[in-house]
């Protein structure tokens, strides 16, 4: 009997896992004992970190896209389709447009995050974002024209992808306007939902003085409740109203609906054991990357490490051995602190982060990582 491993989602986590399995299970795949299928709803693989640079005119969205069939090992069966239903009792997936359903023996969900701006009235009309390809290009057009006024960056909800990216955006904007001699005419305000500037207290403690030094205004305990795009104001649940000329938001995030419908977790995130990444509510289901509710940041580095763990566990299971590999919460992030400097943090479930002093070298390391990302996705790095 051929064992069927099905991965839903061909983003960072799903693609790294598919290539990892192609390598790890090569003999079993060659012998036809195992089949690995990767399903993605877009023929392209999208590398989202590129979007941070698009508004500043430094990268193009196309730099973050590659055809999946160029990235995925040919031993993997690649299917471009959207999964619309998961039945974990029958171990079956259903698709968009009435395609025949597919059965699995092992399922991995790597469906990532979805932006949900509609959760805040007026946000979609009044706010810009760089968390989507179209958002990043529209924001670029606005930012290039923006020479004076109030720029507000509002983190509307957590969890969201890349908790470092809101800090990076205001640090980069500050530096970018300074370099262009416009900083005196531009006010920058950063808002965050809780009482500090970042969810992680250590990163918050590190970032706050940099913001003060750079004259970036801070509003904490600011949960945007509504945006009035005519009056150009954003009002928080805490009763604060801010005027803006350009509003950039990190919109509320959710997972994908089919996860909740399948009873695997709330808001589209899969409840998992945070060490084994096994779904709590069903047998033979793993989740990794943004969609796995482990409490660690929604970051590509996390998806990458988790893919390695799930790859090792699945290989053991397919070979009939107990799975022993576990995820320890490892997270790595480069944090841009300007147009040519960056910091770096590394942490896990046990060890808190301690951000490195910003340097030009770390900035180049981040850009070098972005360039070599395609090797990561192929499973070569």
Partner 1 sequence: MTDIEPDETVDARGAACPGPLMDLIGAIRGAESGDVVRLLSDSEGSLTDVPEWAEEAGNELLAVEELDDHNAFYVEKA
Ligand X SMILES: Cc1cc2nc3c(=O)[nH]c(=O)nc-3n(C[C@H](O)[C@H](O)[C@H](O)COP(=O)(O)OP(=O)(O)OC[C@H]3O[C@@H](n4cnc5c(N)ncnc54)[C@H](O)[C@@H]3O)c2cc1C
Cα distances (angstroms) measured from residue 104 to each of 3, 89, 341: 8, 11, 47
* Residue 34 interface partner, choices ligand X, partner 1, none, CB cut-off 5-8 Å depending on type: none
Q: Give the binding range for ligand X (CB under 6 A) out of 37-45, 171-179, 207-215, 345-353.
A: 37-45
Taking CB under 8 A as the rule, does residue 194 contact partner 1?
Answer: yes
Could you give the CA distance from residue 318 to residue 110 in angstroms, rounded to a whole number?
20
C-beta of 163 vs 193, nearer to ligand X: 163
Nearer to ligand X by Cβ, of 8 and 272: the residue is: 8
In angstroms, give the least distance from the CB of 358 to ligand X.
Answer: 15
238 belongs to the binding site for partner 1 (CB under 8 A): yes
130 lies in the binding site for ligand X (CB under 6 A) = yes
155 sits near ligand X (criterion: CB under 6 A): no
Q: Which residue has the tokens 């999964």?
A: 83
Residue 221 to residue 241: CA distance in whole angstroms = 12
For 206, the token pair is 């590190």
Which of the listed partners (ligand X, partner 1, none) does 199 bind, with a CB threshold of 5 to 8 Å by partner kind?
A: partner 1
Residues 51, 222, 244, 344: which binds ligand X (CB under 6 A)?
A: 51
Query: Is there binding between residue 82 and ligand X (CB under 6 A)?
Result: yes
In the window 1-30, what residues touch ligand X (CB under 6 A)?
8-14
- 299 counts as binding ligand X under rule CB under 6 A: yes
Position among 83, 211, 259, 262 found at the interface with ligand X (CB under 6 A):
83
Among 21, 72, 123, 161, binds ligand X (CB under 6 A): 161
Please tell me the distance from the alpha carbon of residue 115 to that of residue 128, in angstroms, as a whole number.
12
How far apart are CB 115 and ligand X at their closest, in Å?
9
Nearest Cα to 342, choosing from 364, 326, 327, 322?
A: 364
| Order of strands across the sheet that contains 186-191 | 216-219, 186-191, 149-155, 246-250
Give CA–CA dist 96/101, Å, rounded.
10
Distance, CA of 365 to CA of 362 (rounded, Å): 5
The residue range among 1-9, 44-52, 130-138, 231-239 that interacts with partner 1, by the rule CB under 8 A, is 231-239
Calpha distance 161→300 (Å, rounded): 9
CB of 295 to partner 1, least distance (A): 5
Q: Which residue is nearest to ligand X (CB)?
A: 11
Give how far Cα 277 sits from Cα of 84, 142, 158, 292, 308, Å: 22, 41, 21, 7, 11
Q: Which is nearer to ligand X, 72 or 162 (CB)?
A: 162
Minimum Å gap between C-beta 238 and partner 1 is: 5
Contact between 56 and ligand X per CB under 6 A: no
- Kindly state whether residue 237 participates in binding partner 1, applying the rule CB under 8 A: yes
Task: Choose which of 114, 223, 276, 359 interacts with partner 1 (CB under 8 A).
Answer: 223
Q: Are 285 and 272 in contact (CB under 8 A)?
A: no
Please state whether beta strands 114-115 and 149-155 pair in parallel, antiparallel, or not at all (unpaired).
unpaired
- Residue 277 found at the interface with ligand X (CB under 6 A): no
Neighbours of 88 (CB within 10 A): 18
Q: Rule CB under 8 A: say whether 209 interacts with partner 1.
A: no
| Span from 161-169, 221-229, 311-319, 322-330 in contact with ligand X (CB under 6 A) | 161-169
165 binds ligand X (CB under 6 A): yes
Supply 350's token pair: 């046990």
Residue spans of alpha helices (H) in 277-348: 300-318
Axis-axis angle for helices 201-213, 165-179 (nearest 10): 10
Packing angle of the helix pair 12-24, 360-377 (nearest 10 deg): 60
Contact residues: ligand X, CB under 6 A: 8-14, 39-42, 48-49, 51-52, 82-83, 110-112, 130-131, 161-162, 165, 256, 258, 289-291, 298-301, 303, 333
């Amino acid at each position: 009997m051929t064992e069927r491993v099905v991965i839903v989602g061909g983003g960072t986590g799903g693609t790294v896992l598919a290539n990892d399995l192609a390598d790890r299970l090569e003999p079993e795949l060659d012998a036809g004992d195992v089949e690995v299928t990767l399903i993605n709803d877009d023929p392209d693989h999208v590398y989202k970190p590129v979007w941070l640079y698009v508004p500043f005119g430094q990268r193009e969205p196309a730099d973050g896209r590659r055809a999946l069939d160029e990235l995925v090992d040919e031993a993997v069966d690649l299917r471009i389709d959207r999964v619309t239903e998961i039945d974990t009792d029958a171990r079956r997936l259903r698709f968009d447009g009435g395609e025949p359903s597919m059965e699995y023996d092992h399922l991995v969900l790597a469906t990532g995050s979805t932006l949900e701006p509609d959760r805040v009235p007026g946000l979609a009309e009044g706010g810009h974002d760089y968390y989507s390809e179209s958002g990043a290009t529209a924001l670029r057009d606005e930012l290039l024209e923006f020479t004076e006024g109030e720029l507000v960056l509002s983190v509307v909800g957590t969890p969201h992808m890349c908790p470092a990216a809101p800090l990076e955006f205001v640090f980069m904007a500050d530096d970018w306007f300074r370099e262009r001699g416009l900083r005196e005419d531009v006010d920058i305000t950063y808002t965050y939902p809780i009482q500090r500037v970042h969810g992680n207290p250590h990163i918050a403690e590190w970032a706050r003085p940099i913001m003060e030094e750079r004259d970036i205004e801070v509003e904490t305990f600011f949960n945007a409740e509504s945006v009035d795009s005519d009056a150009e104001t954003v009002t928080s649940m805490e009763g604060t109203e801010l005027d803006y000329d350009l509003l950039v938001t990190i919109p509320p995030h959710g997972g994908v609906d089919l996860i909740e419908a399948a009873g695997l977790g709330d808001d589209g995130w899969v409840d998992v054991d945070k060490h084994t990444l096994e779904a709590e509510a069903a047998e033979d289901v793993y989740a990794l990357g943004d969609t796995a509710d482990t409490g660690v940041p929604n970051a590509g580095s996390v998806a990458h490490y988790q893919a390695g763990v799930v790859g090792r566990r699945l290989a053991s299971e397919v070979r009939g051995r107990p799975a022993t590999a576990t995820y320890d919460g490892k997270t790595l992030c480069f944090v841009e602190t300007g147009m040519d400097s960056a910091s770096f943090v590394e942490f896990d479930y046990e060890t808190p982060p301690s951000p490195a002093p910003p340097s030009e070298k770390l900035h180049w390391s981040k850009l070098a990582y972005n360039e070599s990302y395609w090797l990561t996705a192929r499973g070569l790095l």
